[in-house]
Amino acid sequence: MKILVCVSQTPDTTSKIQFANGNTELDKAGIQFIMNPYDEWYALVRALELKEANAGSTVTLLHVGGAANEPTIRKGLAIGADDAIRVDAEATSSYFVAKQIAANAQGFDVIFFGKETIDYNGSEVPAMVAELLDLPFVSYGSKMTTSGNVATIERDIEGGKETVEVDFPFVLSCAKGMAEQRIPNMQGIMMSKRKPVKVVPAVAADNTASVTSYSLPAAKAGVKMISPDNVEELVKLLHNEAKVL
Amino acid sequence: MSVLVFAESLTGKIKKSALEALSYGYQIAQQQGTTCVALTIGNAEGADTLGQYGADKVLQVSQVAGFDSQVYANIISQVAQQVGATVVVFAHSSSGKSVAGRVAVRLGAGLVSAVTSLLAGNAVNKNVFSGKGIATYSINTRVKVVTVSANTFPPKQVRETNIPAEAANVSVPASKIRVKETSTVEGIVPLPEADLVVSAGRGMKGPENWGIVEELAATLGATTACSRPVADIHWRPHHEHVGQTGVAIKPTLYIAIGISGAIQHLAGVNQSKTIVVINKDPEAPFFKAADYGIVGDLFDVVPKLTAAIKNFKANN
């Protein structure tokens, strides 16, 4: 089975967010970049489990980003992917990224994504890739079993779950529950250095939508402390001031 | 020209998020002087009432069984072309998010998801970096696709009368996905759609103590939620977990009980309009993100708060 896992790079959750260059880009100073957690913990690990259950399978990573993002790819290889493709371009918009992935995703039996990235939280790319490749798409998967050419997937929906069956090939986005995080071991880290990373140029994509500027949200007024002996005051404030009751 | 709104349904009923998307679509149509068309797919009880919430025309494709993004995107794109839609609106929900990207590709349209503002020409805003920033996008295509952030554009009744749903004239492709089972918790508002949320964490000391949380939630008409550790040790069901790896929510009121406020938790809840934190530790980081805070023993404070709200409701 040929398995593709698309991984992106995002600022760590604890990052302080500021903008630079006339508020047109993220200020990268002091930001630690990590592999998007949904891609790493759920998509990549479930892909590796699928490989382990199907002898002769391979797991390929696909990343859109410049050479500076190489550590993210190496981490994925250290966790257990066999090889990687890096599209040598900045990930400027979801449609641009989807076009790059589609151009490099031919011939795979299943294409894994995390359910969204933790920076733009858009969940846009997997659906776009599925459409560009004319493949079925199962989103927000939290559990998957396979039998022959059929995958049975539980997916998260509002306030519940849905169970679906789909034949390979398909596109899958992964949520919590799909797998458990794996920490790369020393052997994995050593081996990752020898695994092949193919660098390919970007294909053209229309600029259908893009960010023109950023701003910071209005600061909160600060917390109002209320005595535990006067919860009536809280109810009053929620009614009169916050107007939520 | 028109604005097309996909009015989604779940287990046969129109969702609240569909009415929010419709509220958005109606306002855009008013702004642009065009009509607002609502489309339902599958079994959608109450489609006729969409007229009350802003649809000038209601179209229905009922001959579809389960949810399949490929089939839905195909149908929605056909209808978008038939009605000359220049804006296609989805809810930012599990189905909306799964279909919007496909529709954008099919229509050659730019997509921005989880928008928090109306379109102003080509410009539209969304929150990024877990609410730590706001991005203004330009959608550079003639046809524009958006998914609408939850609890941001409240459903609005704009007329008294229903508009009878008409069957849309589309071809329905065969589905490659077989939906086996769809199960949702009955009788409660699902977390992503909830206006009021009462959430509790490890400070509860054990699952047997949740009664006071459930009573507060019932008194408010709120949905219950929990922090990650509590879901991980199975004190509470997985679907109640809010935070970065769980469900991200934007209710108007979020009450956090015995939750310290780890950054990953905040990332999933900090877009709530009003946050109340109850914690015995005055140093809990959650207080910094709160609007109102009470330092105290939750086993004492929560029942008192429930009583105070009951009292308030009795007198208002």
Q: With 80 as the cut, is the pLDDT of residue A239 above it?
A: yes
Tell me, yes or no, whether B163 and B258 share the same domain. no
Whether B179 is covered by a domain: the verdict is no
Report the CATH number that the domain containing residue A9 is assigned in CATH: 3.40.50.620
In angstroms, the CA B246 to CA B237 distance is 11
Buried b (16+ CB within 10 A) or exposed e, B176-199: ebeeeebebbeeebbbbbbbbbbb
Structure tokens at A14: 């604890």
How far A195 CA lies from chain B's nearest CA (Å)? 30
Residue-range definition of the domain harbouring residue B122: 2-167
A234 touches chain B (CB under 8 A): yes
Here the ipTM equals: 0.96
Q: Which residue in chain A is spatially nearest to B113 when comparing CA positions?
A: A122
Q: ω before A169 within 30° of 0 (cis)?
A: yes
DSSP SS3 for B10 = strand
Interface contact A137-B309, CB threshold 8 A: no
| pTM to 2 decimal places | 0.95
**pLDDT attached to residue A65:** 98
Report the CATH number that the domain containing residue B39 is assigned in CATH: 3.40.50.620
Interface contact A211-B137, CB threshold 8 A: yes
What percent of chain B lies above the pLDDT cut of 90? Answer: 93
Which residues touch A96 (CB under 8 Å, ≥6 apart)? A64, A89, A202, A205, A207
* A125-134, A180-189, B181-190, B303-312: least confident range: B181-190
Whether B184 is covered by a domain: the verdict is no
In angstroms, the CA B58 to CA B165 distance is 5
Tell me, yes or no, whether B133 and B30 share the same domain. yes
Whether A239 is covered by a domain: the verdict is no
Tell me, yes or no, whether B148 and B217 share the same domain. no
Domain final residue, candidates B118, B134, B167: B167
Whether B182 is covered by a domain: the verdict is no
Q: With 80 as the cut, is the pLDDT of residue A47 above it?
A: yes
pLDDT tens-digit readout, B29-46? 999 999 999 999 999 998
Report the CATH number that the domain containing residue B241 is assigned in CATH: 3.40.50.1220
Q: Which residue in chain A is spatially nearest to B142 when comparing CA positions?
A: A208
Count of structural domains within chain B: 2
- Cβ-Cβ contacts under 8 Å between A and B: the total is 278
pLDDT tens-digit readout, A186-233? 999 999 999 999 999 999 999 999 999 999 999 888 999 999 999 999
Beta sheet of A197-200, edge-to-edge order: A197-200, A83-87, A58-64, A2-6, A110-114, A170-174, A137-147, A150-157, A160-167, B177-184
Whether A7 is covered by a domain: the verdict is yes
**pLDDT attached to residue A159:** 84
pLDDT tens-digit readout, B94-127? 999 999 999 999 999 999 999 999 999 999 999 9
B253: exposed, middle or buried (Cβ count in 10 Å: 0-12, 13-18, 19+): buried
Structure tokens at A200: 């390919």
Count of structural domains within chain A: 1
pLDDT tens-digit readout, B77-99? 999 999 999 999 999 999 999 99
What percent of chain A lies above the pLDDT cut of 90? Answer: 96
By Cβ distance, the residue of B70, B193, B277 closest to A136 is: B70
Whether A228 is covered by a domain: the verdict is no
A206 neighbourhood in chain B, CB within 8 Å: 108, 140-141
What percent of chain A lies above the pLDDT cut of 70? Answer: 100
Tell me, yes or no, whether B33 and B149 share the same domain. yes
Residue-range definition of the domain harbouring residue A8: 2-215
What value does the mean pLDDT of chain B take?
A: 96
Across the range B301-315, mean pLDDT stands at 97
